[in-house]
Each structure stands twice: as structure tokens, then as C-alpha cells.
Amino acid sequence: MAARLTLRDLTLRFGGISVLENVSFDVDPGLIFGMVGPNGAGKTSLFNCISGHYKPSSGSILIDDEEVIGSSPATLARHGLARTFQHPALQLESTVLDNVMLGAHTRLPGGPIAWSLGLPLTGRSEKKIRAEAREILEKVGLDWAADMNADELSHGLHKGIELARALMSRPRLLLLDEPAAGLPHSEVEHLIGLIRTIRAETDITIVVVEHHMGLIAALTDRVVVLDHGKKLVEGTAAEAQSDPRVIEAYIGKEADDDAA
């Protein structure tokens, strides 16, 4: 069942610096929800709070009305949360298939130690998980690379491997951190179609952080726009793009970058 994500008055401070301030929004089950904003808006920091990599200073994060603030990534995985990163962290000397199979670590009988030791109780499960990993690689268009080492593939394809690994955990809530970064236009179009297919075929809620406004406009049901750590606007992508506050935030940021 797709998860509901709720944030209430989320605040994150490092020392005396406020990175996020009283951010609140709801993501209904089954939505594709976008988080956008200029560089430095706090998007990745917010993702890090949701995924357990940062502990917020105050506020609330709920998955299906259960408080998870301060939970570890491993605990959140048991709640059905999976995440990709802007810069994929793969085992480059392992095969693509082995990297994807790692996504099933929460489902291993006996845990990762039994798996690594090759104990008998893991044998049947390994065969099932291996077959499942191949099916997911086929879905994301990487079945041809299953037996290649990850370091033989491009950065763009590494993103596909990481997405497949996240799907192996059978998530109910999937966080995608700038999935289109560094991709050519043709691959962005493929990515849009792939994410739509995942949502159509899987009971899942998807939250996307992205600078690529074309992807956000084509893909999301709703978006929230952040600026300087605060929620600026929430609505559809079309509403956000036409909002004067959003236009000012982006133009002002570009002017600051040009001046620098």
C-alpha cells in the first residue's frame, strides 16, 4: 500500500544557521510529488531529514501517521522508504545484478551476515531475489548490462542501477534526488516514461527533487517550492511556474549567481 508522508513545522539548524524553517506539507498516497527551488533552497537537506540522514532540530515527520523523525535509514527502510541519491553510491567492481540485489537486504532470511556466509537458508531466497532483480533491470531497460561490472557503465546508467536497487526493496515511499541530473534530453524523456510506468504498475508514493522543470511539469501531480529553507508555494507545477514569488526567487538567484 502506498504510504502517506506528512511534514509539520520541520526545522533544521546547523549551529546558528537555519537551513529549513517550519516546513509543512502533505503527500497523499500514490502521488508523484515534486520538490523544487533554486540552488541553496534546502531541497536536499529536506530529503536528508526525511530519509534519516539528518536529524531535524524540531518538527514532525510522519509516514502513515507514525512519527519517524530521527529514525535511522535502516528503520525507515522497514517503513517502506527507499531513496536514490544525486551521486549514486554503487559497488563499482561488482556486477550490475549484484548491486541491484543489495536492495533486497531487508528481506534476507537470517540477515546480511547469513547472506554473506552463504548459509543454506539463504539459497532458495537468493535464487528468487536474483530472478526478481533481473526482472527489475528489464523494467528499467538495463537487463543487457546485468552481468557487467558497474564501473563499465556511464554516470547516467548508474542512476538507472540505483533506481533498480531502490525498487528491489519494494518501497511504499520512493525518494528520487535529482534523477535527471546529467542526463541528455532523450534519456530524460525515457526517465519520465519509466517513472510513470513505475507509479502505474506499483502501489507507491514518489517524491522527486529536481532542477529540471520540464520533468517536474510533465511528471508531478503536485509540487512544493522552497526558497531559503522556507516553503514558498504549494500547488500544481503549472501554478508554481506562474507564481510571481517563484519567478522572483529563481530570477533573483540567477542574478546573484551572475554577480558572483
Question: Given the DSSP bridges, would you call strands 173-177 and 81-83 parallel, antiparallel or unpaired?
Answer: parallel
Q: Is residue 194 part of a domain?
A: yes
Q: Which residue do the cell numbers 540485489 mark?
A: 101
Look over the chain and give the mean of its residue pLDDT values, rounded to a whole number.
Answer: 87
75 and 15 within one domain: yes
d(CA 118, CA 116): 5
Cell of 146: 546485468
Cross-sheet strand order for the sheet of 66-67? 17-27, 5-14, 58-63, 66-67
40 and 106 within one domain: no
Instruction: Kindly indicate the confidence band of residue 258, based on its pLDDT and cuts at 50, 70 and 90.
Output: very low
Query: Are the C-beta atoms of residues 179 and 159 closer than 8 Å to each other?
Result: yes
151 and 106 within one domain: yes
Q: Is residue 87 part of a domain?
A: no
Q: Does the pLDDT at position 57 exceed 80?
A: yes
d(CA 229, CA 20): 4
Convert the pLDDT of each residue in 87-132 to its tens digit: 888 888 889 999 999 888 776 666 555 656 566 666 677 788 899 9
Enclosing domain of residue 35: 5-80+171-259
Q: Is residue 86 part of a domain?
A: no
Calculate the CA dihedral of residues 10, 40, 16, 68 and round it to 10 degrees: 30
* Nearest residue to 212 (alpha-carbon basis) of 235, 246, 183: 183
Q: Is residue 165 part of a domain?
A: no
